[in-house]
Amino acid sequence: MTSKNEILERKDIPKEKKWDIESMFADFSEWEKSYNNAKEMAKNFESYKEKVVSSSENLYNVLNDMGDLYRITEHLYSYAHMKLDEDTREGNSQALSDKGLGLYVEVGEKTSYVVPEILTLDLATLEKYYEEKPELKLYKKHIDDIMRQKEHVLSAREESILAQMGEVANSPQKIFSMLNNADIKFPTIKDEEGKDVEVTHGNFIPLMESKDRDVRKRAFEALYTTYKGFKNTFAASLNGDLKKNIFNATVRNYKSSREASLDQNNVSLSVYDNLIKSIHNNLDSMYKYMTIRKRALGVEELHMYDLYTPIVKDVDLKIPYEEGVELVKKALVPLGGEYMEAVEEGFSSRWIDVYENRGKRSGAYSGGSYDSKPFILLNYHDTLDNVFTVAHELGHSIHSYFTRKTQPYIYGDYSIFVAEVASTANEALLMDYMLKNVKDKNEKLYLLNHYLESFRTTVFRQTMFAEFEKTINEYLEDGGALTADYLCETYKKINELYYGPDVVVDDEIAMEWARIPHFYYNYYVFQYATGYSAAVALSEKILEEGKPAVDRYINFLKSGSSDYPLNVLKAAGVDMTTEEPVNNAMKLFSKLVDEMDKLI
């Protein structure tokens, strides 16, 4: 659409390549009217205080009205942040986003008494309420989930104190963010053309992908040497954040912060442990991939700064958006008629904001609310990666589309544990289609390299992160001191284990823990690896079994949070409580490694 260096203003992007945000609110004044209505609803909600469980009628009305309040708040905030993402320079949109976020906080405060009051109910009274008010059964799973965690919920007074401490408790994460994003500055190095370029968070990976090994080495050393200068501050902020999680787990009667985190989705510790065990049992495939990379790059020693540069040279795939769309459509045909109808609707009904414009938020995401289209933000630039991004975000959006069409609002979303499954399954189907149809040997190698890197960064690397997170938390919980030296030593050892004998694990990589924001997310990263493994398993079943697997998969997409994530996945054909899904994903990885070995 545009030349490589030309970035248009928002107004110059064709309407059909912009999302249909007007279908949410025609203008700001309509948003304001809905916002004022939500404020009034939040104020009126206080009338239920100390009466939530006084009768079956009251309990039903409280849950209904709370759902309505959150539903309108979600719609308002979704519009506000999407409007800001269109052009982050726009002052009115900034104000709208701030108001939307403020409303969320206010609604949370106004409804905070509901769960503690529900927890005062005994099971006999609850059963009586279901008989008296059959409509209340809609909320049974929701109430069961609240009651399931009863022993971990404190008194109303104690919960209030913990809530008030929220801002203070988030200080370590804020300190990390400010140091990492605002204060830390990296040196200037020479690029491929001998020009000065300052290393930044944004250009570090492109520099690591450089064909010039000296550039890669200079960027690698510049980044991690700088982090080393702040190692004690980074260690102190991470230590503070982990101690906060341990404190919260302890006061809520959990045995560990890991148990507390996983319990939110009713996921057992064995799922986490099985992931690490399965990856350990399949590290030989990773070692072989590193051997191939070393051979392909023609280096005597393979260093950590050699891991991101493409193995296959001189393949420059340019895929315009319309061409990328057709590729994605062809690849997703195995998902059947109902799925493809949703795909066609997505591309024809302006779900997607396609191109970059000045001021637009970077990256890509799937968004929207329960009452809107499942919108997609892209910044499309004619690359293979961008085609996979289209498939990925479309997977998220169609998951949301089916969930919202099928489930009532209370179950109209899905848990983080399954969030990456539908998106990654689409990527797997796209890769399968492209590998089956590619003719050129170099292009096939390029695709294999892309797929193997996806495995390396999403399954192996995220599992490595998960193991590091588990190790340092357990060390802290056992009374250990989380010093910078301990963190560096532990992180370097785990890299040596995961990358194997053919990789020189440079001393600088010992500081990588300091730049990973996910270590402040309290046992989040393992879900990337489990989600990817589940997606690979489901996509293989779809290709092998056809309609029975497709039917199960569509039901999975429609389930939302009507059941726990492990149960929803099991019904789709993947049991994440066993090692089988990860082991099967590893079999595919091993097969792809062998294929690349023959071609190089």
User: What is the average per-residue pLDDT within 98-124?
Assistant: 91
Q: Which domains does the chain have, with CATH numbers?
A: 10-164 (1.20.140.70), 185-227 (1.10.287.830)
Q: Inform me whether the pLDDT recorded for 206 exceeds 90.
A: no
Backbone φ and ψ for 238, nearest 5 degrees, come out as -65, -40
Provide the pLDDT for residue 595: 94
Per-residue H/E/C for 394-444: HHHHHHHHHHHHHCCHHHCCCCHHHHCHHHHHHHHHHHHHHHHHCCCHHHH
Average pLDDT along the chain: 93
Enter the tokens of residue 285. Answer: 């495939």
State the Cα–Cα distance between residues 505 and 488, nearest whole angstrom. Answer: 12
Residue labelled with tokens 């503690």:
116
Residue closest to 24 by CA, chosen among 78, 63, 84, 60:
78
Confidence of residue 178 (pLDDT cuts 50, 70, 90): confident
State the Cα–Cα distance between residues 115 and 306, nearest whole angstrom. Answer: 52
Residue closest to 514 by CA, chosen among 235, 201, 217:
235
User: Which residue stretches of 182-336 are H helix?
Assistant: 201-208, 213-228, 231-251, 257-263, 269-281, 283-297, 321-332
Backbone φ and ψ for 191, nearest 5 degrees, come out as -90, -170
Provide the pLDDT for residue 4: 44
Which one is catalytic: 393, 420, 427, 512? 393
Provide the pLDDT for residue 316: 74
Residues 267-316: tens digit of each pLDDT: 999 999 999 999 999 999 999 999 999 999 999 999 999 999 988 876 77
Active site includes 46?
no
State the Cα–Cα distance between residues 471 and 466, nearest whole angstrom. Answer: 9
Task: Judge contact between 476 and 246, C-beta under 8 A.
Answer: yes
| Burial classification of residue 471, based on how many CB atoms lie within 10 Å of its CB (0-12 exposed, 13-18 middle, 19 or more buried) | middle
Confidence of residue 3 (pLDDT cuts 50, 70, 90): very low
Residue labelled with tokens 């689409």:
426
Instruction: Tell me the β-bridge partners of 504.
Output: 303
Least confident segment among 34-38, 149-153, 590-594? 149-153
> CA 28 → CA 100, 107, 110, 198, 581, distances in Å?
12, 21, 25, 40, 48
| Burial classification of residue 468, based on how many CB atoms lie within 10 Å of its CB (0-12 exposed, 13-18 middle, 19 or more buried) | buried
Per-residue H/E/C for 440-474: CHHHHHHHHHHHHHHHHHHHHHHHHHHHHHHHHHH
